[in-house]
Amino acid sequence: MAAFLRQYERKAHPGFDPNDRGYDRKLEEKIKHMSPEELDALMHGDWDDNNSQENMATSTPTPNALDHAQDSPLIVGGKTIASRLIVGTGKYRDYEQMQQALEASGASVVTVAVRRERLIDADGKSMLDYLDTDRYTILPNTAGCFTAEDAVRVSRLGREILDQLGNPGKDWVKLEVLNDKKTLLPDPVGTLEATKELVADGFQVLCYTSDDPVMATKLRDAGAASVMPAGSPIGSGQGVLNANAIAIILEMLKDPASGGDPDYPVILDAGVGTASDVTIAMELGADGVLLNTGIAHADDPVTMAHAMRHALDAGRLSFRAGRIPKKLYATASSPWDGVISYIPGE
């Protein structure tokens, strides 16, 4: 009887399909004919199912879906990153909008660029006046570098500034060695060369690269703290163009059966156009996502920053939960047992 009532209760249990009930009609009939006293005893008395697994399961508190404490932390180059969403600080309408978008994104690590100080207008607004360097870990990039030599120079200059600021990102660099201004595709040879030199100089190199799995392993072997394959070209908003290539990178770098290390961080960098792109990357098993334009050039960057944050959580949780396999044909959610209608082919 107790078992029947538990099943009957499933009707109102959140998270279950209300049609997914396989109750016993005979038991239902018995309950209908019980005296009020018997029914009351059944509803309020001690049930004989204290050892029931199902009962124990329902008494376990529902985990808070956004409780990151239950997730293993993302560690890159020996540092724990609180948020798996890393965002850029470029292309905002103004610094106030940047501040609000960073806040909404929940990011703890933000990227910046290293550029010449203006000699004429040195009294103009500085981004550093609007970026809380005590709150955010600053990840300087080498954007605009087309040779390994220049990327190493810029990395060292970035380190010097972050050292002056006392920021924990001072030995980090987001390495970009690009081929040309039009495609902004990474130069694999220059990237590998710069990675080796920067690793030897004590840097934690977070390495922007293409979605080529072979290149990814070579950068990992050269000592990169994280390999960051592009979903699609920088700022293109095309999302994850080759999910299979990203999946292969993740397998080669993270699956022990393929010589990988589950703790080795792989972060999708570049190409994100909208929130679902972030979710797709995280569902594939990426450890994080780095993006800038997708937020900064949205019609409403602050709202998009919120969306990106939730998209990352959704993708991460989905990855951890383990998706169902894809099947060619349908499988019914409602039971066939008890169907009153004509079923074709039966």
CB of 187 to another protein, least distance (A): 18
Nearer to another protein, 21 or 156 (CB): 156
- CA–CA distance, 189 with 80 (Å, rounded to integer): 30
- CA–CA distance, 145 with 142 (Å, rounded to integer): 6
Contact 177, 194 (CB under 8 A): yes
Q: Which of 291, 287, 278 is nearest to 253 (CA)?
A: 287
174 noted as active-site residue: yes
Sites of contact with another protein (CB under 8 A) = 88-92, 98, 111-117, 119, 122-123, 126-128, 138, 140-141, 143, 153, 156-161, 163-165, 234-235, 290-293
Catalytic, out of 174, 196, 254, 327: 174
CB of 153 to another protein, least distance (A): 7
Contact 134, 166 (CB under 8 A): no
- CA–CA distance, 138 with 27 (Å, rounded to integer): 65
Helices 95-105, 301-321: axis angle to 10 degrees equals: 20
Would you say the C-alpha torsion 13, 15, 17, 23 has a positive or negative sign?
A: negative
> At 132, phi and psi to the nearest 5?
-75, 100
**Could you give the 3-state DSSP secondary structure of residue 10?**
helix
CB of 58 to another protein, least distance (A): 47
Instruction: Give the Å distances, CA to CA, from 255 to 79, 148, 186, 261, 299.
Output: 22, 30, 25, 6, 39
Contact 184, 178 (CB under 8 A): yes
CB of 115 to another protein, least distance (A): 5
Residues annotated as part of the active site: 174
